[in-house]
Amino acid sequence: MITHEYQQRSSSDVSGATLPRVLGPLEALCVIVGSVIGSGIFIVPARVAREVPSIALIGVLWVAGGLFSLAGALTIAELGAMIPRAGGPYVYLRAAYGRLPAFLFGWTEFLVIRAGSMATLAAAFALYWAQVIPAPAGVRAEVWEMLAASGAIAILATVNVLGTKHGGGVQVVGTALKLGALAFMIVAPFAMGRADVARLSPLWPARFDATLFRGMTAAMVGVLWAYDGWINSASLAEEIRDPERNLPRALFLGTLVLIAFYLGVTLVYHLVLTMPEVAAAATEKGSPKIVAAEFFKRLFGASGVTAIALIVMCSTFISLNGNCLSGPRAYFAMARDGLFPKALARVHARFHTPANAVVAQSAWAVALIVGGTLWVLARVPAAADLSTTAPRPKMLYDVLYAYVIFGGTVFYTLSIAAVFVLRRTMPDAPRPYRCWGYPVTPALYVVAALGLLASMLSDSTSRVESLAGLGIIGVGMLVYPFFANTRQHA
C-alpha cells in the first residue's frame, strides 16, 4: 500500500540528507507574505479594471481570490502539520497518489511553477529597474531588462546557497519594509486629503453578459497571480521549528494579512485615480503608465514615480528571495527519494543548504527569462509603432504569469484533494491541525480551481501559455520511467 510504505520511510530517505530546523514562526510567516507580495498588487489592478470596469466587482474578485487562497491554505495546513517534511505538495501527492503524480508536480514545479514565478517576478523587477536606470544607448530595452532580471536571480541564489538563515533573515527584513510601504500607500491619500469617493464609479456594470464573464475570468487569472505563493512555507516544513504548530498559524495568518492589504491598496488606487485612469495603466511596451506609478505621480508628482519604482523593485526582490528559498526543497525531496538527479539531494557540507537545487532552479529561471525575451523580440520589431489603438503584443511579464498560473493550479488542486484521500487511507495518522470547515473548504477550492482551468484553456488570451504548461506535464510522463528505472537499479 502506498501510504503505508510512505509512513515507514525514514526522514533521510535515499540519500541520508536532512535539513536543519533553523526557521522560526516569524520566518515562516514572512516566507508567505513576503513571497506573495511581489509585483502583482502594483501591476495587476490595471488589468482587473480593464476587464471588469466596476468597483463592486473588482472588490468581489480580490476577496474571492483571497478566500480561494485561504481555502487552500487551511487545507494545506493540515497536510503540512501531518507530514512536516521538505517538499510541500510533493510529499502530500506522493503519500496520497504515489510516485508518478508526485514526480509530475516536482517536474512541473521546476520547469513551470516555481522557476516561472521567479522569472515573472524578475521581469517585473527589471521593468521598474529600467525606469530608474534606463537602458544605455544602443541597448534595446528588452535586453537591458533581461540582464537586470537575470542579475537579481543570481544575487539571491548566492544568498540562499550561503545559508537558509541568511535567506530567512532577508525575508523578514524585506517583508517588514514592503508591508510598511503598502501601509503608507493606504494611509497617504487620506492624510493628504486626496481620496475622493466620487471616483468609486461605476459601482456596478451596465449589464451582465458573456463578455463580462470572460473578462472576470481573465481578471481572476491576474488576481490569483497576485496571491500566488501562499503555499511556499509548506515546502520549508522540515526546516521550521515546531512545524505542527507554526506552519498552520503561518498559512492562516499570512493569507488574512494578504487579503487585508490587497483590498486596501486596490481601494486607494480607485480613490485617487478614476476607473478609466486605472484601466489605462499598462505594462506593455510603448506605455509608461503602470498603475502604482500613476498613483504615486498623482500624489507626489514626478518624484513619486521614482519612489514607487524603488518600492516595487524592493518588493519583487524580496518575493524572488522567498521563491528562491522555498522552491528548491521540492527538487531536494525528489532527489532524496531517487526521483530526480542525485546531485540535487546533496546538502552543502559547510552551509547546510540544498545548494545544488538552489542553483539548478535559478539557472532554469534565467533560461526562461532569456527565452521569453527572445520570444518578445521576435514578435516586436525594434521600430514597431505601438502608439496606435491596435492590440499590443504581449510582453515578457504577461507571457510568463499565465504560464505559471495554469501549471500551479493543476497541482495545487491535486494537493488540496489529497486531504480527502489521506483522511481515508491514513485515518489514524497524527493530525495536530485539522482543516477548518472540512469537507466543504477543500471541496470549494477544487470546484473553483477546475472552473478556472477550463476557462483558461477556452480563453484565447491565455490558451497558448496554458497548453504550454500542459505540454510540459505530458513530457514529464514520458520522462518519469527513466527516473523510476534508475531508482530501482540504484
Residues 410-414, mean pLDDT to the nearest whole number:
90
pLDDT band with cut points at 50, 70 and 90 for residue 3: very low
Per-residue confidence (pLDDT) for residue 6, from 0 to 100: 46
Per-residue confidence (pLDDT) for residue 389, from 0 to 100: 40
- Of 42-46, 265-269, 292-296, the range with the highest mean pLDDT is 265-269
Q: Is the pLDDT of residue 401 over 70?
A: no
Q: Is the pLDDT of residue 286 over 60?
A: no
Worst-scoring range by mean pLDDT, 48-52, 165-169, 219-223, 393-397?
Answer: 393-397
Residues 391-402, mean pLDDT to the nearest whole number:
52
Q: Is the pLDDT of residue 14 over 60?
A: no
pLDDT band with cut points at 50, 70 and 90 for residue 489: very low
Residues 78-91, mean pLDDT to the nearest whole number:
92
Per-residue confidence (pLDDT) for residue 396, from 0 to 100: 52
Q: What share of the chain is helix, strand, coil (3-state, %, to 5)?
A: 75, 0, 25
Going by C-alpha positions, the residue among 258, 183, 252, 250 that lies closest to residue 226 is: 258
Per-residue confidence (pLDDT) for residue 383, from 0 to 100: 46
Residues 269-294, mean pLDDT to the nearest whole number:
77
Rounded to 5 degrees, φ, ψ at 23 are: -110, 130
Q: Angle CA(32)–CA(94)–CA(157) in degrees, nearest 5?
A: 40
Listing DSSP states for 259-272 in one string gives HHHHHHHHHHHHHH
Top-confidence residue, 330 or 12: 330
Per-residue confidence (pLDDT) for residue 315, from 0 to 100: 87
Top-confidence residue, 436 or 230: 436
Reported as a single tens digit per residue, the pLDDT across 172-185 is 999 999 899 999 99
CA–centroid distance for 305 within its chain: 25
Mean pLDDT of the chain: 84
Fold assignment, 20-382+392-488: Amino acid/polyamine transporter I (1.20.1740)
Residues 188-194, mean pLDDT to the nearest whole number:
95
Reported as a single tens digit per residue, the pLDDT across 303-337 is 887 888 888 888 889 989 988 888 899 899 999 88
Per-residue confidence (pLDDT) for residue 13, from 0 to 100: 47
**Angle, helix 210-227 to helix 440-458, in steps of 10 degrees:** 120
Q: What are the beta bridge partners of residue 23?
A: 240
Reported as a single tens digit per residue, the pLDDT across 462-471 is 677 677 777 8
pLDDT above 90 covers a percentage of the chain that reads: 41
Asked whether 114 and 327 are in contact (CB, 8 A), the reply is yes
pTM as predicted: 0.81
Name the amino acid, one letter, at 241: R
Q: Is the pLDDT of residue 425 over 90?
A: yes
